[in-house]
Structure formats: C-alpha cells, structure tokens
C-alpha cells in the first residue's frame, strides 16, 4: 500500500484550486495505498494440488477499474476530473516503509486503477485499487498499517512534503494524522482508517484569498483515508476538504461501495 501518496495528491489539487490566484503552486499531502506508481506486470502462475482450492489470480486492470469510485456512487453535484498521477509516489512509499520498518511491496504490484478525482466546492474525493502477486504482500502492508509507528511516520512525511510544495509565504503550522486498525464500523475488509488535519499559516494576500472562498482566514484541510483489501487486492478511498470535514455518512457510504466491490475480486 502506498501508505499515502493519494491524500497528498488530493490536498495538492485542493489547495491549488483556492490559492492559485494568490500565486500558490499547490500543496501535497500523504496517506494512501502502499504504492501509487503505475505497474502492469504479468502475474506468475501458482501451482496447486488437485485437491486444494485454486489460489486467486491477481486482478487485471478491467477488474480493478470496476472497483474504484464512479460518479453514480457520489451525491449529486460532484464533478469527476481526470486523475493526476503523483510523480513522487514511489519515493514516498519507500520512505514510509523505511520509517515504519516494513517491506515496500511496490515491486510486487501487478496492476493499478485510479478513479477520477471528484471535486465539489472545497472538497476532493478519489480512490484506487491495486492487485498484488501474493497474500504475503497484503500481510506485509496490513502489518505496516497496524504498526504503532505508522501515524508518526505519516505525519513526518506529510510535513516534509508540504514544506517543499507550499507557495512562498505559507508555512505548515501543524499536521496530525491518526491511523486506526480495524473497519471503524464499516465492512470487514476495511483493515484500517485514518483521519487528519493540516493547518497552514499564510501571508496577508493568501489569507484574503482564502477568506473569499472559505469565509475564514484559518486554512485547515481535513483528510480521511480508508484501506481496503480483497483477493490479492488493496484498495483505498481518500478525501480532503477545506475548512469543514466531509460528513461522516458520505465518507462511510463511499468506503462501503468500494469495499463491497473489492471483496468480490
């Protein structure tokens, strides 16, 4: 699981939309599956005994595309924009694996699908689905999500990446990410969830621009992530919102949609 290029990408897109006229280049956040770099490797065949159940085969791109969020999953009004790949995803995955003390499973990824990046006012929602070669890959990534180090490591990566991508005159005032193992009351194949917030200090020009779009001069971006598994599949749903958290009922419904499809493989 790229434990998190996607939330970073969501926040980058979100911040850029609202501060571009103030000269902002965009912001990046960190939270997501354990590898968001494209892959299309052929799956290796698995020998099975005649009396044993057939081992699952890694899902290919058409299957993964059917799992990620679609426009009909979202409430009315959300606009689907073409997904933008994060060029720093591989480096982020490697750094997080090193920090947590886990194994980077990016090289075992077979295929990856990304939903559109959905946007509405001050919020963004996106999702991804990846297939892997073996169950050991999923076990390694789940173990990372259950590590007591993962929240701290994500916060460190978040602050580091934001510091290099914020517009001139803006600084990270605070960042908090909490990854919690378990489904949080959702489908059983949701293996962990995360919530966080990023507060940014801005200069007077940026603060004025922010107030025109968010009715406040206190720029806070709220993020959520859900980590989901299926048969040799890891999926993810990420959200970010400016000024106000997205309603929990909306997030829960979207996570359930992806989790239900991922469970079927």
Q: Give the model's pLDDT for residue 31.
A: 45
Please write the tens of the pLDDT for every residue from 188-199: 999 999 999 988
- Nearest CA-CA partner of 154 in 223, 219, 249, 75: 223
- Nearest CA-CA partner of 104 in 93, 113, 115: 93
pLDDT band at 9 (very low <50, low <70, confident <90, very high): low
Q: What is the CATH number of domain 5-39+58-264?
A: 3.40.1000
Please write the tens of the pLDDT for every residue from 230-241: 999 999 999 988
pLDDT band at 178 (very low <50, low <70, confident <90, very high): very high
Q: Where are the beta strands (DSSP E) in 69-170?
A: 79-81, 109-114, 117-120, 123-132
pLDDT band at 216 (very low <50, low <70, confident <90, very high): low
Report helix, strand and coil shares of the chain as percent, to nearest 5: 35, 25, 35
Please write the tens of the pLDDT for every residue from 26-83: 333 344 444 444 333 333 333 433 445 567 789 999 999 999 999 999 999 999 999 9
Give Cα 221 to chain centroid, integer Å: 15
Q: Is the dihedral of CA 157, 167, 36, 88 positive or negative?
A: negative
Give Cα 141 to chain centroid, integer Å: 14
């Amino acid at each position: 699981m790229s434990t998190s290029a996607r939330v970073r990408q969501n926040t980058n897109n979100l911040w850029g939309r609202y501060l571009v006229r103030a000269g902002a280049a965009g912001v990046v956040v960190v939270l997501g599956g354990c590898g968001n770099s494209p892959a299309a490797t052929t799956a290796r065949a698995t020998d099975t005994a005649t009396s044993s159940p057939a081992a699952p085969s890694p899902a290919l791109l058409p299957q993964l595309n059917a799992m990620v969020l679609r426009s009909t999953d979202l409430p009315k009004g959300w606009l689907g924009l073409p997904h933008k790949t994060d060029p720093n995803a591989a480096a982020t995955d490697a750094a997080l694996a090193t920090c947590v003390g886990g194994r980077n499973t990016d090289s075992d990824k077979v295929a990856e699908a990304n939903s559109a990046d959905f946007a509405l006012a001050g919020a963004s929602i996106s999702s991804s689905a990846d297939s892997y070669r073996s169950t050991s890959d999923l076990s390694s990534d789940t173990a990372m999500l259950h590590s007591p180090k993962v929240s701290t490591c994500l916060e460190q990566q978040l602050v580091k990446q934001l510091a290099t991508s914020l517009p001139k005159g803006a600084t990270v005032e605070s960042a908090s990410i909490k990854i919690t193992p378990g489904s949080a009351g959702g489908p059983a194949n949701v293996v962990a969830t995360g919530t966080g917030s990023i507060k940014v200090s801005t200069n007077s020009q940026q603060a004025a621009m922010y107030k025109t779009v968010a009715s406040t001069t206190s720029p806070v971006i709220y993020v959520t992530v859900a980590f989901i598994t299926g048969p040799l599949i890891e999926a993810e749903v990420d959200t970010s919102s400016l000024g106000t958290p997205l309603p929990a009922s909306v997030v829960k419904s979207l996570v359930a949609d992806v989790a239900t499809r991922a469970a079927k493989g």
